[in-house]
Amino acid sequence: MKLTVLHKVGIFTLSMLIATFSMANAKEAKSIDELVAMFDDKKCAECHEQIYSEWQASWHAKAINSSLKGMRNFIAVGLAKEWDTPLTKAEVLKCLDCHAPAVNYASEELAVEIGNLIVTAFEKKGSPAGSQAAEELAKLNVGCYSCHNIKATSIAPGLRGKPEKGVMYGPNGEDGDDFHESIESVDISTSAFCMQCHGVYHAPDGETIQCNTLSGSYRHGYLAAGGSKTCQECHLNKGHLFPGGHDLDTVKEGLGFNLEIAKYNHLPGQIEGVKNPKGWVPSAVITAFVENKAGHRIPDG
């Protein structure tokens, strides 16, 4: 009797293990093309043409290649030389969980391969091998799925669970013809949604990465002083272009400039040789006020 129960428990555990193993396998891509096919943003262009072209011109669309130097240093200098730590998926995700969230769905081997491509793209820049690596990496970025699916539930994972496959999380929950279902997401319109990437990263192994610190000043400077706008209210004014410090209009919007000029007569009657009959030098005190009107410190980084 006892033996049978144990036996059943054994079989049950074994089948659980098999189920977990095949689930893990099912959602892990083994090549970049397989990964891109799982989250193919090009398909969105068919129906959301304008949003797609705005996004293509945004910094979100080139989030690995624009940051190659820093990432290569992390992998080839930090991990390899200073900390003597092997390159693993967990290490690669310390950068790419924000710069290319789809990599969460890459196999261990593919994630390491992507890490090596980053080193090649930077170190062999200009050579055929370097250009080929950069071309591969350009397929990975902060894409449509990154925000509308992969990261859509992660500011409240306990409450919302994992994102549903193929479903778009958006502000209104309107389905996309026959192509996709949508789920209304309150989260995506909140600053906290942006702050998960524009803030400090807490890796599963406990390490924290402070790639950018802008969320801290948003919370403790701007909101604390009575600011009330969300990131979206200031940064979606040009749609999915998400303009920031690289956009002159946005930089101008962020800077208030005022001059206060007070005219006065310098040392009246006390300067010898001054031709002015009253003996003073016409002068002015000019005070310049440069105001930061952004919702956080500028510049960031």
Q: Which is nearer to ligand HEC, 232 or 280 (CB)?
A: 232
Report the alpha-carbon distance of residue 198 to residue 100 in Å, rounded.
13
Burial of 106 (0-12, 13-18, 19+ CB in 10 A): buried
Please give the radius of gyration of the chain, using alpha carbons only, rounded to the nearest integer. Answer: 27
Residue located via tokens 């992998």:
75
Structure tokens at 146: 């990154």
Whether a cis peptide bond, with omega within 30° of 0, leads into 299 is yes
Q: Which is nearer to ligand HEC, 89 or 151 (CB)?
A: 151
One residue of 106, 111, 153, 240 binding ligand HEC per CB under 6 A = 240
Residue located via tokens 């043409």:
49
Asked if 205 is part of the footprint of ligand HEC (rule: CB under 6 A), the reply reads no
Residue located via tokens 């990437």:
197
Shortest Å, Cβ 181 to ligand HEC: 9
Q: Which is nearer to ligand HEC, 38 or 274 (CB)?
A: 38
Report the alpha-carbon distance of residue 165 to residue 118 in Å, rounded.
28
Report the alpha-carbon distance of residue 27 to residue 239 in Å, rounded.
31
Part of the chain binding ligand HEC (CB under 6 A), chosen from 28-36, 124-132, 184-192, 280-288: 184-192
Binding mask 121-160 for ligand HEC (x = CB under 6 A): ---------------------xxx-xxx--x---------
Asked if 63 is part of the footprint of ligand HEC (rule: CB under 6 A), the reply reads yes
Structure tokens at 81: 């030389």
User: What's the one-letter identity of residue 189?
Assistant: S
Instruction: Point out the residue whose Cβ comes nearest to ligand HEC.
Output: 245
Tell which positions 220-239 bind ligand HEC, by CB under 6 A. Answer: 229, 231-232, 234-235
One residue of 164, 212, 221, 280 binding ligand HEC per CB under 6 A = 212
Tell which positions 79-118 bind ligand HEC, by CB under 6 A. Answer: 94-95, 97-99, 101
The neighbour count for residue 153, using CB atoms within 10 Å, is 20
Report the alpha-carbon distance of residue 51 to residue 168 in Å, rounded.
15
Part of the chain binding ligand HEC (CB under 6 A), chosen from 5-13, 63-71, 81-89, 282-290: 63-71
Shortest Å, Cβ 23 to ligand HEC: 23
Shortest Å, Cβ 109 to ligand HEC: 20
Shortest Å, Cβ 223 to ligand HEC: 9
* Residues recorded for the chain: 301
One residue of 28, 29, 60, 112 binding ligand HEC per CB under 6 A = 60
